[in-house]
């Protein structure tokens, strides 16, 4: 039952965990063991701990991923079609397939929350803060972001010969880092959206889309082996800190 800060939200909120089998940067990353469990389990368990999410559905074309997600508590009511599990398949098409299946064979959620398994540091508090913001602002969608590691003033394209003439805008030449206003980037961890809005636009972004800021530590996006090792390190560090706080040896 939804209460308090979430009163304007519908009861029917479903998390979708999209996880195809053919990852390229880090093969089989969705089921690689991370701190004692398959990486996809962190997304499922975070959703199950949410104060608002009623169901967790996995969309995958892969038997091993499906089994790992179900073992963690997710539902796997359908198998993702092969044409939606290719390198060229879009997130929009995967989401619409999920919404169509739920409408035709189950109950279409009024709000859905995309939780990519490649954001294992995200937890239920991050999910609920996004849904709280949706309630507070009557938002069409809420998207998680984090502070950018580098200011865009310090970035540019390079020509083939590597010449840096004009690489920095003049206003950035003498700017001190502490004087630059914080910039934010999408972190891919949480996308909460009203189904009717997504159906009408095919997008999370509109006049009533709001950002929910997450810490950079919780914004790790596992794309390759280095990202995976960084997530392992952060989880190990968090576990050790937790043990020290509780007095465990």
- Could you give the number of structural domains in the chain? 1
Question: What predicted TM-score, i.e. pTM, was given to this entire model?
Answer: 0.91
d(CA 242, CA 245): 5
Number of neighbouring beta carbons within 10 Å of residue 67: 14
Task: Give every CB contact of residue 37 below 8 A, 6+ residues apart in sequence.
Answer: 72
> What residues make up the domain containing 132?
4-151+185-246
* In a domain? residue 144: yes
**What pLDDT score was predicted for residue 116?**
98
Number of neighbouring beta carbons within 10 Å of residue 227: 17
Burial of 207 (0-12, 13-18, 19+ CB in 10 A): exposed
* Sites in the chain below the pLDDT cut of 70: 1-4, 7, 171-175, 244-249
**What pLDDT score was predicted for residue 1?**
44
* In a domain? residue 170: no
For 111-149, the pLDDT digits (tens) are: 999 999 999 999 999 999 999 999 999 999 999 999 999
* In a domain? residue 167: no
Task: Give every CB contact of residue 246 below 8 A, 6+ residues apart in sequence.
Answer: none
* In a domain? residue 48: yes
**What pLDDT score was predicted for residue 8?**
78
**What pLDDT score was predicted for residue 245?**
65
**What pLDDT score was predicted for residue 207?**
98
Residue 100 near residue 109 (C-beta atoms within 8 A): no
* In a domain? residue 156: no
CATH of residue 43's domain is: 3.90.550.10
* In a domain? residue 169: no
* In a domain? residue 157: no
Tokens, residue 100: 């169509």
* In a domain? residue 166: no
């Amino acid at each position: 039952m939804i209460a308090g800060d979430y009163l304007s939200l519908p009861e029917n909120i479903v998390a979708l965990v999209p996880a195809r089998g053919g990852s390229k940067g880090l093969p089989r990353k969705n089921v690689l063991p991370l701190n004692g469990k398959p990486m996809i389990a962190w997304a499922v368990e975070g959703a199950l701990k949410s104060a608002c999410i009623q169901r967790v559905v996995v969309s995958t074309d892969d038997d091993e991923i499906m089994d790992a997600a179900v073992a963690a508590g997710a539902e796997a009511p359908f198998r993702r079609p092969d044409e939606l599990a290719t390198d060229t398949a879009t997130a929009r098409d995967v989401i619409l397939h999920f919404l169509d299946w739920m409408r035709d064979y189950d109950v279409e959620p009024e709000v859905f929350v995309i939780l990519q398994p490649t954001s294992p540091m995200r937890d239920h508090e991050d999910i609920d803060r996004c849904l709280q913001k949706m309630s507070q602002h009557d938002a069409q969608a809420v998207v998680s972001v984090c502070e950018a590691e580098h200011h865009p003033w310090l970035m540019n394209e390079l020509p083939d010969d590597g010449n840096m003439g004009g690489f920095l805008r003049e206003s950035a030449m003498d700017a001190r880092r502490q004087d630059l206003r914080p910039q934010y980037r999408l972190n891919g961890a949480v996308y909460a959206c009203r189904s009717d809005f997504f159906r009408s636009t095919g997008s999370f972004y509109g006049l009533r889309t709001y950002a929910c800021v997450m810490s950079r530590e919780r914004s790790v996006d596992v794309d390759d082996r280095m990202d995976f090792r960084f997530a392992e390190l952060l989880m190990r560090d968090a576990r050790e800190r937790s043990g020290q706080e509780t007095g465990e040896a």
